[in-house]
Amino acid sequence: MREKVIIAEKLTKRFGDFTAVDAISFDVNKGEIFGFLGANGAGKTTAMRMLSGLSLPTSGNATVAGFDVYRENEKIKRNIGYMSQKFSLYEDLTVRENIRFYAGIYGKSSSFIRDKTTAVLQRLHLTGEADKLVKSLPLGWKQKLAFSVAIFHEPRLVFLDEPTGGVDPVTRREFWQLIYEAAAEGITVFVTTHYMDEAEYCDRVSIMVDGRIDALDSPSVLKQQFGARSMDDVFLKLARKAQRTAD
């Protein structure tokens, strides 16, 4: 049996009488690229925030990287990377300063930071831009940089919340290349997206509808199961059942 990085059992989050996440159960294997799909308002971000220790679950259980989400949320944070929907680098710091800051607060040594910064800048072809303010970079470059910063401290697992929103197809392809490289290094990737072509790149995919997980398997099995030609069809068939109005 493969090692599980995330185990969620009936994980639930209620805001007042609104159930944002309704008793979801699933596992994520080590080294896997796990696609977390769902329409706007289906509860993806809330689920991700619970798993990354930003939001306290109402009920249910979950462990992330072997730590309990209720009691050991600060330990979870040492072992994960997180890239939110909102752009999360400091625009008024340079590329190099952002890398240094985030690596520093994860407790990485100066020599580690120095060596790895050089490698990351080369990989992203940003060596020439290293001392430019982040706000001067185009969106696609910022996203790739944000991802590299999120995994700079070599976490066991990285959460990506719509990382390629608003980015052109070429850059999206390059972004996914980075994701594959991270997965090859053994980092588990937990990613939400609205692009169904990206869903095809995932090892396994779950589809959330109205706070519940309605389907979970590899893209090829899902297509077979729903008699669909593409993930797009699968998604539409499931998402149409939604009662909630998307925001």
Partner 1 sequence: MRTLLFLLQKEFRQIFRDPSILRLIFIMPVIQLVMLPFAADYEIKNIQLAVTDNDHSAYSRLLVSKITASGYFKLSALPGTEKQALKVIEKDQADMVLFIPAGFEKNLVKEGEAPLMISTNAINGVKGGLGNSYLQQIIREFNQDIRAEWIQLPRFNPEVQLETTVSNWYNPHMNYKLFMVPGILVLLLTMVGANLTAINIVREKEIGTIEQINVTPVRKVHFILGKLIPFWILGILVFTLGLLIARVLYGITPVGSPLTIYVFAAVYLLAVLGLGLLISTYAHTQQQAMLISFFLMMIFILMGGLYTSIDSMPEWAKMITRFNPVTYFIEVIRMVVLKGSGLAEIRGHLVVISIFALILNAWAVLNYHKRS
In whole angstroms, the minimum distance from the beta carbon of 78 to partner 1 comes to 5
Closest to partner 1 by CB, 94 vs 230, is: 94
CB hemisphere CA count around 202 (13 angstroms):
31
Nearer to partner 1 (CB atom), residue 110 or residue 225: 110
Nearest to 98 by CA among 134, 63, 70: 134
Q: Give the interface segment with partner 1, choosing from 4-12, 54-62, 165-173, 229-237 (CB under 8 A).
A: 54-62
Is 93 near partner 1 (CB under 8 A)?
yes
Answer yes or no: are the C-beta atoms of 94 and 136 closer than 8 Å.
no
The reply on whether position 119 binds partner 1 by CB under 8 A is no
104 touches partner 1 by CB under 8 A: yes
The residue (of 52 and 164) whose beta carbon lies closer to partner 1 is 52
Interacting residue with partner 1 among 3, 40, 56, 185 (CB under 8 A): 56
Among 7, 54, 178, 183, binds partner 1 (CB under 8 A): 54
Q: Choose among 146, 143, 156, 131: nearest CA to 75.
A: 156
**Among 20, 47, 89, 231, which residue sits at the site for partner 1 (rule: CB under 8 A)?**
89
Q: Of the candidates 11, 80, 215, 231, which one interacts with partner 1 according to CB under 8 A?
A: 80
Residue among 161 and 198 whose Cβ is closer to partner 1: 161
Task: Answer for the pair 77, 53: CB distance below 8 angstroms, yes or no.
Answer: yes
E runs forming strands in 48-135: 59-64, 67-68, 80-83
Site for partner 1 contains 52 (CB under 8 A): yes
**43 HSE (CA, 13 A, CB side):** 28
> Residue 105 interacts with partner 1 (CB under 8 A)?
yes
Please report where in the chains the tokens 């199961």 appear, as a residue.
225
Tokens 């969620």 appear where? 8
Question: Does an H or E element contain 29, and which?
Answer: strand 18-29
User: Is the distance from CB of 20 to CB of 209 less than 8 angstroms?
Assistant: no
**Interface with partner 1 (CB under 8 A):** 52-56, 73-74, 77-78, 80, 82, 84, 86-93, 97, 100-102, 104-107
